Structure 1
Amino acid sequence: MDIISHLTRTVTPAVLGDDNNPAKKSLLEQFYAIFAARLADNDTYNRFANDNIARDDQGFYDRVWTDGSHRDQISRELAAKHNVDATAARGLVAMAAPLAFHEIKSLAGTTPVPQFLNDNLSSYQHHIPAWAADVVPAGMVVGAPAGERISDTVSTAPLVREEEKSGSFMKALLPIIGLIILGALAWALLRGCQDNPEPVATPVVTEEVATEEQTVVASTIEPASLMLATGEANTLYACRMNVGDEALQTTVMGALSNAFGAEADKCRADVDDNFANDMPAAAQLSSILPIFQNVADASMIIKGDQITVNAPDQAALDQLVADLQAAAPGMTVVAEGPLDLQGEIDNSLVAADTAINNLGENPDPRDVARALSLQVINFELDKAIIPDVNKPYLDRAAKIITEVPNMELMIIGHTDSQASNAYNMDLSQQRANAVKDYLVSKGVDASKLSTKGMGETDPVATNATEQGRFRNRRIEFTVYDESMATEDNNGISLTAGNEGDIDMNNDIDADMNMPDPDLNPLDNNNDDVLPDGDDPSKGTALDPNAQ
């Protein structure tokens, strides 16, 4: 079994998408060998052998190498060796780790993964660099003889070499026997491919070409997700969902309404075929939501087959994890770890880079907004100066906005709640303006951009935890397109950006020269003379921030 060739064929396209950078491909190839060597250690593997690892769990990489200095060494050395930016290198290996893990488990079948990897050590050992001796089990780094290359033949059995016996009759038959064995292996492989579907992480196969070879491309479908936060007295503080169709939206909204009543109307949904139209936890939401609702200032992210929760109180958090796991035994329930600020920034930039690379020619404005909103623009405290690390991504954004006709974006600034409402509103507007000014300086027509500061009024997470406040401090891109506008009980619907969420109040901003009626009575924004549930004047006074 040539493990590296298999992972290069299946995982690399899923990580890189349309990015055909040879240096990144080579970097991933070497990482697969280091990763396999690490998983060959029983103690390492047993730490998560019984966990249900999501394929998009970028935190899994941190659980394979719990020593941060080792993770830093891996990304630093790989970046230097392959001439790739260190931040990009870290993001690539974090994205590749869970996908490679699933592929290796699939290849191992019923054989324990460490045993499988040790049995097939010769198929990847020659890819492990000497510097990796510090980050893999002892004895894994052994130089292969110069010029020797392990066979690319795919087999689930270990590679075996037999010495020839000089002068024997068998020596003459060995070439013939070898051909027979190779033919049998090829037949077995062909049958295996026919009888067994490709693993989920394997890219979708495109049309055949004249050489009868097949080209693979990465699937762009993201798992459906639901992100919730509670406030005091079991209220719904924030709610976003990303779903693939209206049927799933209806299912999730029904469960939210049963748990939170009219407050469920706060939930914003991005319904788009970029997301899956099924959610493993959907059938269990009736059990999950009441448990979550009973914990004040808590957060919960349901994505794929994993539920990640957080709460300000450790005892309440531990109980929440235990109760949710009991209510949803088919899901993996984990407590959110401490905020890794640099890791979050690095991963966001890699995700944005991948999304931008996958936009193609003449992209849908909604996809552009999503891609640009993936990046974390980590402004310094109380400042509105764009960090240098974000400028290359904004440069690419400027080029896209300039080249695509009729693309008009709104840039929205958000803050956490750690200041006065007025101060946060002003700061968020300054930051949105800073992004617009930068894009205009790069050639974007100013008329194609508008801005809005939302302050702390439109949270996506609880402000009671460090992780939640980090998520709430954000810049989001949205796009308004009359052809996509729909009238419902909340009025006009805007399509927008951050990871596909509907990212702004359902009120059309005055900067867009449209009326600003109260389209969502429960949006915590008294922006007109119509009654708001949060408006003590019951519509008799205007919001001082209204335009």
Structure 2
Amino acid sequence: MDIINHLSRTVTPAVLGDQRTPQSEGLLEQFYAIFSARLADQDTYGRFAGQEIARDDLGFYDRVWTDETHRSSIARELAAEHNLDEASVQKLTAAAAPLAYLELSELAGSTPVPQFLRDNLSTYRSHIPAWAGAVIPAGLLAAEPAGTRISDTVSTAPLQREEEPSGSFMKALLPIIGLIILGALAWALLRGCQDKDRVEPVATPAVVEETVVEEATPVVATDVDPAALRISSGDGNTLYACHIDAGNDELQNNILAAVRGVFGDEADKCRSDVDDNFAVDMPAAASLPAILQLIKAVPDASAIIKGDTVTVNSPDAATLEKLVADIQAAAPDLQVVAEGPLDLTNEIANSVTAADTAMDRLGDNPDPRDVARALSLQVINFQFDKAFIPDVNKPVLDRAAKIIQEVPDMHLMIIGHTDNKGTDAYNKNLSRERAQAVKDYLVEQGVDPSKLTTKGMGEHDPIADNATDQGRFHNRRIEFTVYDESQMPGDGTVGDGIAVNDDASKVDTVALPDPDLNPLDANNDDLLPDSDDPTQGTVLDPNANN
């Protein structure tokens, strides 16, 4: 049974009516494949299993993909691939989702829909585009179908699971007769083997097979990192920085809800990385509200909540000691520790090892988002006020250069970040230079410069506090993301800006004027617009050097 062909025959006419075009039909074919893969996830299906879904339930699509960034990504990618505008794509997918769901439910019959779709993965797998890996169940495409396909028949009517046909009595007895014959042969073989002088018992091969099964059974759990929340408070009970690593949307939303419950709308500052490299549960989840309340009450406090461990820091030793004790009392099942002094050498070495390990997992033709995540794990510890690549990072960048060259559609953005020491203008310029240094090195290794874009964020996008050595160290970083031209300013250029997208694999920007260190020269590079660029206004930067 070809699921895509079936849905194209039954659902597409109802969605498009008389407005059928090759572009819209092709778009729906891809959407059916992505939609089927999403429903193959038991957690997704469980949100509405047993509910009555109406054929015109246009909100059903939003319940399948609760993450708005995923819905936006689907609309954007499908629109670009099929030469349609995003608004039209959103209408088509919203109309198709409930109809496709009802049809798939009919096809599944008494089989649970997720199991049915996993059993028949091979019938729609080839229609799933590479970019959809971020919006479908983790690991689905890497897994073999769990069962046997139900049928290869294609029909315009919903297909049912075929029942065993009733036949003659002899036909029903054939399997039993076969088993009797096999049993007799096995008995004869056993007796023959026992008559020989053998050291190994005849059952030894079966034991060997069982041992192999036991070794192959476990899922590679060591490849999954614990889900994590890194959070820092600011002055006046504010949220300073927040970053979430989660294995699925559900966990991300649960963590974000806990942050929002304590910090309100400031939770919008949280950035999230949702990826199957992270666990889908967090042992500290139930204790998050209590932990976050304690962090909020202490200015410049920070916590890294990862697995069953909470690592806490504060610039004041006495405050830190009390904070550790308070969090331990609020979450007795967790291990609460104070963050130790910054060990620069080990931090750098561990980060490079982590990046190497992540790159080992990439395999052939990797997803650019996975490449970006792997590269972002390494710490590129530039010397003070310098933008030269340290030798320890060059092997990782050399590996990255080969991967970027081999994957045709890989376009990455390199983003430089600093701590808050120094002026805003200085930090932006330094972060831009460091990002450019990384690009220059990759280009020297053979990467096409058009595949790389750079951006300097300065101190504007912290992931940790800036009140401790450890926090400032984490904020001084180079990040890689997948470059999306549609997210850039209208002229296609990349200026300074503030990252506002929760999805770390995409970057939205809010354009800001370049800093002008001298408002009297012929360029416009100050913190405020000046007379060098009349289109930007005529207000001079009062802190500029005259």
Q: Secondary structure at the match of 2:464?
A: coil
Indicate the residue corresponding to 1:382 in structure 2. Answer: 385
Asked whether the 8 Å contact 1:416–1:473 carries over to 2, the reply is yes
d(CA) in 2 for partners of 1:192, 1:284: 41
Q: Secondary structure at the match of 1:458?
A: coil
Q: Quick one: which amino acid aligns to residue 390 of structure 1? A: N
Q: What displacement does 1:267 show?
A: 0.4
RMSD: 3.7
Indicate the residue corresponding to 1:507 in structure 2. Answer: 509
Q: What displacement does 1:219 show?
A: 4.1
Q: 1:407 to 1:492 in 2, by over 3 A?
A: farther
Verify: 1:263 aligned to 2:271, yes or no. no
Asked whether the 8 Å contact 2:313–2:339 carries over to 1, the reply is yes
d(CA) in 2 for partners of 1:205, 1:543: 65
Asked whether the 8 Å contact 2:271–2:501 carries over to 1, the reply is no
Indicate the residue corresponding to 2:16 in structure 1. Answer: none
Indicate the residue corresponding to 1:285 in structure 2. Answer: 288
Query: Identical aligned pairs, as a percentage?
Result: 59
Residue 339 of structure 1, aligned match among 317, 338, 342: 342
- Post-superposition Cα deviations, 1:458-490, rounded to whole Å, max 9, x if no partner, equal 1111110000010011011011358999xxxx9
Indicate the residue corresponding to 2:433 in structure 1. Answer: 430
d(CA) in 1 for partners of 2:421, 2:539: 25
Verify: 1:301 aligned to 2:304, yes or no. yes
Verify: 1:235 aligned to 2:225, yes or no. no
- Post-superposition Cα deviations, 1:288-335, rounded to whole Å, max 9, x if no partner, equal 110111111111001111110100111111111111111111111111
Q: Quick one: which amino acid aligns to residue 244 of structure 2? A: M
Indicate the residue corresponding to 2:372 in structure 1. Answer: 369
Q: 1:203 to 1:427 in 2, by over 3 A?
A: farther
- Post-superposition Cα deviations, 1:153-200, rounded to whole Å, max 9, x if no partner, equal xxxxxxxxxxxxxxxxxxxxxxx9x999xx99x98x999999xxx8xx
d(CA) in 2 for partners of 1:254, 1:475: 29
Asked whether the 8 Å contact 1:409–1:477 carries over to 2, the reply is yes
Please give the residue correspondences for 1:147-162 in structure 2 after superposition, counting only pairs within 5 Å.
none
Q: Quick one: which amino acid aligns to residue 232 of structure 2? A: A
Q: 1:234 to 1:507 in 2, by over 3 A?
A: same
Q: What displacement does 1:495 show?
A: 4.4
Indicate the residue corresponding to 1:456 in structure 2. Answer: 459
Q: Secondary structure at the match of 2:268?
A: helix
Asked whether the 8 Å contact 1:369–1:496 carries over to 2, the reply is no
Please give the residue correspondences for 1:426-505 in structure 2 after superposition, counting only pairs within 5 Å.
426-481=429-484, 493=501, 495-496=503-504
- Post-superposition Cα deviations, 1:77-126, rounded to whole Å, max 9, x if no partner, equal xxxxxxxxxxxxxxxxxxxxxxxxxxxxxxxxxxxxxxxxxxxxxxxxxx
Please give the residue correspondences for 1:62-101 in structure 2 after superposition, counting only pairs within 5 Å.
none
d(CA) in 1 for partners of 2:253, 2:540: 32
Indicate the residue corresponding to 2:227 in structure 1. Answer: 224
Indicate the residue corresponding to 2:421 in structure 1. Answer: 418
Asked whether the 8 Å contact 1:480–1:495 carries over to 2, the reply is no
d(CA) in 2 for partners of 1:285, 1:412: 31
Q: What displacement does 1:220 show?
A: 2.3
Q: What displacement does 1:388 show?
A: 1.3
Please give the residue correspondences for 1:28-47 in structure 2 after superposition, counting only pairs within 5 Å.
none
Residue 253 of structure 2, aligned match among 241, 250, 253: 250
TM-score of the superposed pair, with normalisation by structure 2:
0.52
Q: Secondary structure at the match of 1:416?
A: coil
Q: 1:304 to 1:491 in 2, by over 3 A?
A: closer
Q: Which is higher, the Rg of structure 1 or of structure 2?
A: 2
Q: What displacement does 1:425 show?
A: 0.7
Asked whether the 8 Å contact 2:270–2:502 carries over to 1, the reply is no
Q: 1:540 to 1:405 in 2, by over 3 A?
A: same
Indicate the residue corresponding to 1:138 in structure 2. Answer: none
Q: Quick one: which amino acid aligns to residue 447 of structure 1? A: S
Q: Quick one: which amino acid aligns to residue 480 of structure 1? A: Y
Q: What displacement does 1:275 show?
A: 1.5
Q: 1:423 to 1:446 in 2, by over 3 A?
A: same
Count residues in correspondence.
315
Q: Secondary structure at the match of 1:232?
A: coil
Q: What displacement does 1:496 show?
A: 3.4
Asked whether the 8 Å contact 1:238–1:460 carries over to 2, the reply is yes
Q: 1:384 to 1:491 in 2, by over 3 A?
A: closer
Q: Quick one: which amino acid aligns to residue 406 of structure 2? A: E
**4+ residue runs of structure 1 moved beyond 4 angstroms?**
189-194, 202-206, 481-485, 490-495, 508-511, 539-544
TM-score of the superposed pair, with normalisation by structure 1:
0.52
Higher relative contact order, chain-length normalized (CA < 8 Å, sep 6+) = 1
Please give the residue correspondences for 1:315-330 in structure 2 after superposition, counting only pairs within 5 Å.
315-330=318-333
Q: Secondary structure at the match of 2:236?
A: helix
Unpaired runs of at least 5, structure 2: 1-196, 489-497, 514-526, 530-535, 542-546
Asked whether the 8 Å contact 1:281–1:302 carries over to 2, the reply is yes
Unpaired runs of at least 5, structure 1: 1-175, 207-216, 512-525, 529-538
